[in-house]
Structure 1
Amino acid sequence: MILIAKKLIALDLDGTTLNDKPEISEMTKQAIKAAQQDGYIVSIVTGRPNRISENFYDDLSLNTPMINFNGNLGILPHNRWELEYQYTIEKDIVMDLLEQSKQLGINLLAVEGRNMFLANHGAKSNLGFFPSVIKSDEILNQHTLTDNPISITVELQPDAKQAFIDYTETKFGDAVDVAPWGGPHPIVEVTTKGIKKSTGLKVLADYFGVSQKDIYAFGDEANDLSMISYAGHGIAMKNAIPSIKDIATDVTDYTNDQNGVAKYLRDHMDIAVGL
């Protein structure tokens, strides 16, 4: 009897699996379905919170665990999972940043958990990751913040980003990591120190019994670096930033807006795609 090694495909969402709208194209859906039929395990590993990624999980008809908040949350959407985990930040850090928000140039301060969203106010309309209108019980203060959050996200005045990073790293650097988002907005995320996408990817691989050499990870941005490095096959998108391409084992021939993941599965991994 020949045992066939299990193989895992780990998918970043924005700039990778999603096109620029952002949506999952029909070709990508077909490719992921075909990959699963061929025996690949497919999981989402994203920086997005679960509240704005479970819809894509459902679009792909997945039944595998999902990693959110850049490795800080691992869940099985719609079900219980014996390995479900989360890394959280002390509430005192949130309160300190909230109190110093004016001096630090913070426009928006939002905190999230698996079932938590609180912010100092609604977001501007061009920040699509956050609601523009929030309910009274979603306003961030010491009374509404009853649990430690998984993530702190701040949108800053353009010239305040580095000062915020310096302040947070100096005061709380032994407990948290501070990472700017990619893209045009001056947004910085604060999460538990040392936890990255590779943290969640290793949990998935161990859970499914997949060897590191049999992991295929697709990504495009700085938060994908640990995952691309960890995977035996770290695949950068054609539209990826240079530092991701530099460490990747391969680069897709097409961008995320050209069905890059689907075409890579078809052209380089012999997965049949209908379109």
Structure 2
Amino acid sequence: MTRKLIAIDLDGTTLNAQSLITKRTETVLKKVVSAGNVVSIATGRPYRMSSQFYQQLALTSPMVNFNGALVHLPNQQWPFEKEHSIKREIAFSILEKKQELKLDFVAAENRQSFYVDQIEGVEPHFFAADKILTTNLFKNLSSNPTSLLLKTKHEYASQTSEKLMSEFKDEIDVRTWGGPNAILEVVPKGVQKAMGVDIIAQSLKIPQKDVIAFGDEHNDVELIDYAGWGVVMKNGTDQLKSYANDITEKTNDEDGLADYLEKYLAL
């Protein structure tokens, strides 16, 4: 069997509604790896909010974080590592216009840490922390961040995105997170998951036609489009489904990914 690179999104795809990888999905993904394939996580989450899944699946493959802004081999030196960042000045400029942009909070993060402009009203789970520390305030941001997270209200999200994109059009892209909160993620211009997965495929000498990708949201568009075989979850957005080679029969809450891979790879 030809070795495949299987790129998996986390939220809404590999994770169930409780944001967990079920025992069944874990078992199937481990089988996929023992059959000689490579499973690689490609997520919008920072590494500190996805490392537990990397460990649970006992992966040794490179992974993509921040929607492509960081491609790395966790806890190791890797010659293909790539990290993109946003100018620190852009973060401070957005913070200055916080009220005009109708933002509830502004956060900046990189591989290991996050900085937020205020502690009140910020839910620690956004940053996978038990509590938000006063030392993590924005004024301590001394280097260029990998990504910015902005919280707003659903009714302002598209207007705020447009304002940011027109003001910093050559430097940033703005992505929306799916889910109950209106979170805008600001990444360096042109950065998306497919770029990161392509670096991984090239490093492993796996041709593009042997890349299988799974996703559910608009931040997966380029990835699903890039993959030799792009699979969208049954619970995925209609926009994304228009790029799919196939759609799973079951949702992320019914082990749809595991179910699909088991049949597709005849495990």
TM-score (norm 1): 0.92
> Could you tell me how far apart the structure 2 residues matched to 1:87 and 1:261 are?
30
> C-alpha displacement at 1:182, in angstroms?
1.4
Structure 2 partner of 1:64 = 61
Determine if contact 1:123/1:133 at 8 Å carries over to the other structure: no
**4+ residue stretches of structure 1 with deviation over 6 A?**
none
Q: Please list, as runs of the form range in 1=range in 2, the aligned pairs for 1:86-125 lying within 5 A after superposition.
A: 86-122=83-119, 124=121
Identity of aligned residues (%): 38
> Could you tell me how far apart the structure 2 residues matched to 1:136 and 1:65 are?
33
Structure 1 partner of 2:138 = 140
> Could you tell me how far apart the structure 1 residues matched to 2:84 and 2:259 are?
35
Determine if contact 2:153/2:181 at 8 Å carries over to the other structure: no
Structure 1 partner of 2:226 = 230
Determine if contact 2:70/2:84 at 8 Å carries over to the other structure: yes
Structure 2 partner of 1:75 = 72
Determine if contact 1:31/1:262 at 8 Å carries over to the other structure: yes
SS in 2 for 1:167: helix
Determine if contact 1:151/1:189 at 8 Å carries over to the other structure: yes
Count of matched residue positions in the alignment of Structure 1 and Structure 2 = 266
SS in 2 for 1:177: strand
Moved more, 42-51 or 160-169: 160-169
> C-alpha displacement at 1:224, in angstroms?
0.6
Query: Which 5+ residue runs of structure 1 have no aligned equivalent?
Result: none
Structure 2 partner of 1:51 = 48
Task: Sort the Cα spacing of 1:194 and 1:219 in 2 relative to 1 into closer, same or farther, 3 A.
Answer: same
Structure 2 partner of 1:42 = 39
Of 147, 153, 170, the residue aligned with 1:151 is: 147
> Could you tell me how far apart the structure 2 residues matched to 1:5 and 1:207 are?
16
Moved more, 160-169 or 196-205: 160-169
Structure 2 partner of 1:25 = 22
* Matched AA of 1:40: N
Determine if contact 2:119/2:134 at 8 Å carries over to the other structure: no
CA RMSD of aligned residues (A): 1.5
* Matched AA of 1:135: L
> Could you tell me how far apart the structure 1 residues matched to 2:235 and 2:247 are?
9
Determine if contact 2:106/2:117 at 8 Å carries over to the other structure: yes
Determine if contact 1:7/1:41 at 8 Å carries over to the other structure: yes
SS in 2 for 1:129: helix
Structure 2 partner of 1:183 = 179
Of 195, 198, 203, the residue aligned with 1:199 is: 195
SS in 2 for 1:10: strand
> C-alpha displacement at 1:216, in angstroms?
0.6
The one-character-per-residue Cα deviations of 1:77-99 (angstroms, maximum 9, x if unpaired) are 12221211100000110010111
> Could you tell me how far apart the structure 1 residues matched to 2:103 and 2:220 are?
26
Moved more, 217-226 or 5-14: 5-14
SS in 2 for 1:247: coil
> Could you tell me how far apart the structure 1 residues matched to 2:15 and 2:120 are?
23
Aligned pair 1:256/2:252, yes or no?
Answer: yes
> Could you tell me how far apart the structure 2 residues matched to 1:42 and 1:21 are?
22
The one-character-per-residue Cα deviations of 1:110-144 (angstroms, maximum 9, x if unpaired) are 11111221001237476732347322220002xx1
Determine if contact 2:193/2:223 at 8 Å carries over to the other structure: yes
SS in 1 for 2:242: helix
Task: Sort the Cα spacing of 1:91 and 1:126 in 2 relative to 1 into closer, same or farther, 3 A.
Answer: closer
